[in-house]
Structure 1
Amino acid sequence: MKKAIIFDLDGTLWDSSASVCESWNIVFSRYPEITRRLTPADVQGFMGKTLDQIFPIALPDTPDELRRKVLNECVHYELEYIAEHGGRLYPKLRETLVELRRSYALIIVSNCQDGYIQDFLDFADMRGLFGDFESAGGTGLSKGENIKLVIERNSIDKAVYVGDTQGDLDSADFAGIPFIRAAYGFGQMNRPVPEIREFCELPEKAAEII
């Protein structure tokens, strides 16, 4: 039986909010009519959402055409910035993933733009630990649909999704698989679910569930 742990990225494997915040503010500063500046807390509130959901929140008072132009530029520049500056990996990430890989296929599914997961894998030097990944930017599908996609693509018999937001829980429900909350991340849940408070707790929690 082939088992998999499928991961959200932001708030689950790393925190890139400071780098994303800085990269977007650099783009904002190129436009005199854009006076808003983001904080890392603002960015954490965006995490887990699709770009179409983020755009009106990020610049709510900006005309739609300008907003879309500026934020599309943000998305592209973010990839360049993240590739160089990365994010903060959660404690004991690598050693825990190495342990998990002995028993499970490891996969990432995120609502990010295409290229963002690749930036994470290269910055963290973890391409060898993950067997597959998928993003909303890569397929145009919802997170729940992408979870189903990678399960089918990798012939997975049993899987669990690990994430930190309500959207992650909803996506796991959509895909029909159990969920583990990364309680150290950015979000809250609308019902009690199994959770970990540190990433290193995941092997024990995953063994209980799948």
Structure 2
Amino acid sequence: MDSIIFDLDGTLWDPRETVVESWNRVIKEHDKVDNELTSQHLKETMGMQMHEIGKKLFPELEEEERDRFMKTCSGVEIGHLRDKGGILYDEVEEVLEELAKTYKLYIVSNCQDGYIEAFYDYHKLGKHFIDYENPGRTGLSKGENIKLIIERNHLKHPLYVGDTEGDRNAAMHAGIPFVYARYGFGNVDHYDYVIDTFGELLEIF
């Protein structure tokens, strides 16, 4: 193995509290959306792309209006994440620092453009990662974005660490092993490796 590609939400951090705060600010100002969001709402959408999240959470809006609403939510969310950050899982900073001594590290997340950058900006962890990708920049699926990272960086033996069935499917699509972060948001039955804390990555590698 020469490299590790990470999912972000549910794998490196839990951003739900900050995201809920930012989205509810936008909801309060919208005359067609009444129900405030909770962390549980967001947990149910983890791993989805933004347009899929919009359809699930705001079915009452017409598609064009929903797209505008989601863009507004996204802009407010990224600004709020840059200011407040999320909750890093235990030992993330220490383990990334140790892994980066031996392996090339990357992030591929199903997020909007600017989201990973906000994670880097607040938590100052960008120094550990060589490259990253998301559908907000490419319009591609997670599996295709993983393949893009592999091709762009000439990786020979990468694996993917994530917490949902979608992450597993993306790793399979890219033809690489999958490490299931069982402490995250999803339930996965089949995997190559499993960790119950982020620190257990050091036992695998």
Which stretch has the larger CA shift, 184-193 or 86-95?
184-193
Task: Quote the Cα distance in structure 1 between the aligned partners of 2:191 and 2:7.
Answer: 19
Task: Quote the Cα distance in structure 2 between the aligned partners of 1:35 and 1:109.
Answer: 33
Residues 67 and 84 from structure 1, CA distance in 2 versus in 1: closer, same or farther, beyond 3 angstroms?
Answer: same
Task: Quote the Cα distance in structure 1 between the aligned partners of 2:183 and 2:2.
Answer: 24
Matching residue's letter, 2:187:
Q
CA contact (8 A) 1:36 1:59 kept: no
Matched, 1:108 2:120: no
For residues 1-40 of structure 1, the aligned pairs below 5 Å read: 3-40=2-39
User: For each residue in 1:67-98, what CA deviation from the matched residue of structure 2 results, as whole angstroms up to 9, or x when unmatched?
Assistant: 22212211111111111111000111111011
Task: Quote the Cα distance in structure 2 between the aligned partners of 1:192 and 1:149.
Answer: 22
Task: Quote the Cα distance in structure 2 between the aligned partners of 1:171 and 1:190.
Answer: 15
- TM-score by length of structure 2 reads 0.96
Aligned to 2:144: 145
CA contact (8 A) 1:121 1:127 kept: yes
Aligned to 1:180: 179
Matched, 1:200 2:188: no
CA contact (8 A) 2:179 2:191 kept: no
Aligned to 1:57: 56
Report the Cα offset of residue 31 of structure 1. 1.2
CA contact (8 A) 1:3 1:105 kept: yes
Task: Quote the Cα distance in structure 2 between the aligned partners of 1:76 and 1:36.
Answer: 20
Report the Cα offset of residue 61 of structure 1. 2.2
Report the Cα offset of residue 152 of structure 1. 1.2
For structure 2, which runs of at least 5 residues remain unmatched after alignment? Answer: none
For residues 69-84 of structure 1, the aligned pairs below 5 Å read: 69-84=68-83
CA contact (8 A) 2:47 2:167 kept: yes
Task: Quote the Cα distance in structure 1 between the aligned partners of 2:64 and 2:23.
Answer: 17
- TM-score by length of structure 1 reads 0.94
CA contact (8 A) 1:114 1:136 kept: yes
Report the Cα offset of residue 112 of structure 1. 0.3
CA contact (8 A) 1:180 1:196 kept: yes
Please give the root-mean-square deviation of Cα atoms over the aligned residues, in Å.
1.2
Task: Quote the Cα distance in structure 2 between the aligned partners of 1:21 and 1:136.
Answer: 21
CA contact (8 A) 1:7 1:163 kept: yes
CA contact (8 A) 2:181 2:196 kept: yes
Q: How many residues align?
A: 205
Q: Structure 1 vs Structure 2: percent identity of aligned residues? A: 44
Matching residue's letter, 1:65:
E
Task: Quote the Cα distance in structure 1 between the aligned partners of 2:10 and 2:59.
Answer: 24
For structure 1, which runs of at least 5 residues remain unmatched after alignment? Answer: none
Task: Quote the Cα distance in structure 2 between the aligned partners of 1:43 and 1:78.
Answer: 13
Report the Cα offset of residue 193 of structure 1. 4.3
Report the Cα offset of residue 30 of structure 1. 0.5
Helix, strand or coil at the partner of 2:120 = helix
Task: Quote the Cα distance in structure 1 between the aligned partners of 2:139 and 2:70.
Answer: 18
Matched, 1:168 2:164: no
Matching residue's letter, 1:42:
H
Matching residue's letter, 1:43:
L
